[in-house]
Amino acid sequence: MNLLERIEHWAAVAPNAIAHISGDRKLTYRELHLRSNGFATELVKRYGEGGDPIALLGHREPEMIIGFIGAAKAGRPYIPIDSVLPQERINHILTIAEPKSLLNPTEIASLSEPNDLAPSVSLQADQAFYIIFTSGSTGSPKGIVITRGSLEFFLGWMLLEHRFREPGEVFLNQAPFSFDLSVMDLYCSLATGGTLFSVGRDLIGNPKLLFRALAHSNVTTWISTPSFVELCLVERKFNHQLLSHVNRFLFCGETLLPGTATSLLDRFPNAQIWNLYGPTETTVATTSVMIDRQILQKYPVVPVGRPMPGTDIFLIDEGHDARVPPGTRGEIVIKGPNVSSGYLGQPDLTGARFLDVNGQRAYRTGDLGRFQDGLLFFEGRVDSQIKLNGYRIELGDLEANLRALPMVRDAAVLPVFKNGKAQWLAGFVVPREEFKSDGESLPTALREQLYHRLPAYMLPRRFVVLDHFPITANGKIDRLKLLESL
């Protein structure tokens, strides 16, 4: 069965099962079936079969999921846009994408009258299923096209590796639908007859309400960025008693720290901890590894795992595009059926980042990595180098050294620019619990310890000690807010 057939299967055999919970709203599989049929019928009536994408503007409303599935049934890709985005950013996306229509949840509801029949449109494996926009290095958003075939290849791997209970799983949805991490929880849930439990921005901004909601969620599979779970770990009651049904944690989108993994193993002794890696251009994730205490004892940093079956990951050197010897750091290149067909309306950028390797599509990630014992380790970004006072500095290298200090739980380092030139470095740290009372003396101690690990020109001029890092709507460290706090 393809993805849409899987979802239809659950509508037939478990029509009253809950597909989505968002706040006090619930969507059953039968309602999803009928209303996505109605939405697809209306799209075909208005615009014909297939063709240009439909942009859907909302947050975590059930109508967004109805819109996603309805667009696919009409043979059209959808573009999820989160309503929290600034209007200028939304306008920029619309200018690039030129969607057939932009619809909000109220409009989707009015166009999705229940219908037993869907249009007889077939979305082929090589046709776009969704287009997600991410930030571009030039400041212009990039629309990443993911085909039905790439999505189903990714899902096939996830379902085989994790053997989710069918039906009965409850998946946490922390990432907004405009962030590709949500693809993992949304479609793993819908494909297995699960329930997607959405945590909206109103809950993330209110810890009391958040933990009350989590306590009643019955979540079995936790999917989030590491930053979001670190925010939760600040609360001591975040443990197996609060989430008694959780049996696995899946992390992607950021670096998973050893301390975070250790805390989760301590607090959730019966749950598995998984680390995954993959850029949006390769359909959410391409590598995975289960993190246990043996892994944490063996390696100073957490590996991002082994490639999924049917894909290949290799490393190339800077400038020469030659494969590097085993154990050497290089740029990560991902090859396989999960690789995107390219950037929407940006052929030059597509040509620069996507390759043909032995007849198969590949993507130059811009990420640095190294293989050890068959495991891939993420080692920062090719473009995270800066030049300060004539010295080249790899910010990821500096952050890794800061995190290695015994007093530090997490760290971020940012350059401070003036007149377009890096003037100095600021280090932001979240100390380990036992060192939080040393707030005033901590910067001096950190500087002294770093002095023995790094040359003087790499040392941050200023350290800022925080209880936790601010996070973006996507659940990643909000580096802009960190800079604003200086």
Q: Is 15 exposed, middle or buried (CB count within 10 Å of its CB: 0-12, 13-18, 19+)?
A: middle
Helices (H), 300-394: 347-353
Q: How many CB atoms lie within 10 A of CB 360?
A: 13
Task: Kindly report the CATH number assigned to the domain that includes residue 461.
Answer: 3.30.300.30
How large a percentage of the chain has pLDDT more than 90? 77
Q: State the pLDDT at residue 447.
A: 92
The band of 475, judged by pLDDT with boundaries at 50, 70 and 90, is confident
Which comes out higher in pLDDT, residue 390 or 422? 422
Query: Phi then psi for 353, rounded to 5 degrees?
Result: -105, -25
The band of 419, judged by pLDDT with boundaries at 50, 70 and 90, is low
Say if 290 falls within a structural domain: no
Say if 294 falls within a structural domain: no
Q: State the pLDDT at residue 133.
A: 93
Q: How many domains does the chain have?
A: 2
> Which residues have a Cβ under 8 Å from the Cβ of 402 and sit 6 or more positions away?
408, 411, 413, 427, 429, 446, 450
Q: State the pLDDT at residue 423.
A: 85
- The residue segments making up the domain with residue 445 are 389-484
Task: Kindly report the CATH number assigned to the domain that includes residue 157.
Answer: 3.40.50.12780
Q: Please, what's the b/e burial string for 193-206 (b: 16 or more CB within 10 A of its CB; e: otherwise)?
A: bbbbbbbbeebbee
Say if 348 falls within a structural domain: no
Which comes out higher in pLDDT, residue 133 or 473? 133
The band of 343, judged by pLDDT with boundaries at 50, 70 and 90, is very high
pLDDT value at 386 more than 60: yes
pLDDT value at 257 more than 60: yes
- Confirm if 289 and 303 have CB atoms less than 8 A apart: yes
Say if 76 falls within a structural domain: yes
Written as six digits, the tokens of 120 are 């007889």
Residues 313 and 306: their CA atoms lie apart, in Å, by 9
Domain closes at, from 165, 195, 224: 224
CA-nearest of 391, 404, 387 to 452 is 404
Which residue is associated with the tokens 């659940």?
475
DSSP annotation of 317 reads: -
pLDDT value at 392 more than 90: no
Mean pLDDT of 236-241: 96
Say if 248 falls within a structural domain: no
Residues 380 and 385: their CA atoms lie apart, in Å, by 9
Say if 306 falls within a structural domain: no
Domain closes at, from 172, 201, 224: 224
Say if 10 falls within a structural domain: yes
Q: What predicted TM-score, i.e. pTM, was given to this entire model? A: 0.88
Model pLDDT for residues 174-220, shown as the tens digit of each residue: 999 999 999 999 999 999 999 999 998 888 878 899 999 999 999 99
Model pLDDT for residues 100-133, shown as the tens digit of each residue: 999 999 999 999 999 999 998 888 999 999 999 9
Residues 311 and 95: their CA atoms lie apart, in Å, by 34
Say if 320 falls within a structural domain: no
Q: State the pLDDT at residue 88.
A: 84
Domain closes at, from 224, 249, 268: 224
- Averaged pLDDT of the chain: 93
How large a percentage of the chain has pLDDT more than 70? 98
The band of 390, judged by pLDDT with boundaries at 50, 70 and 90, is low
Mean pLDDT of 249-270: 95
> Which residues have a Cβ under 8 Å from the Cβ of 21 and sit 6 or more positions away?
27, 195, 196, 197, 198, 217
Q: State the pLDDT at residue 444.
A: 92
- Confirm if 336 and 312 have CB atoms less than 8 A apart: yes
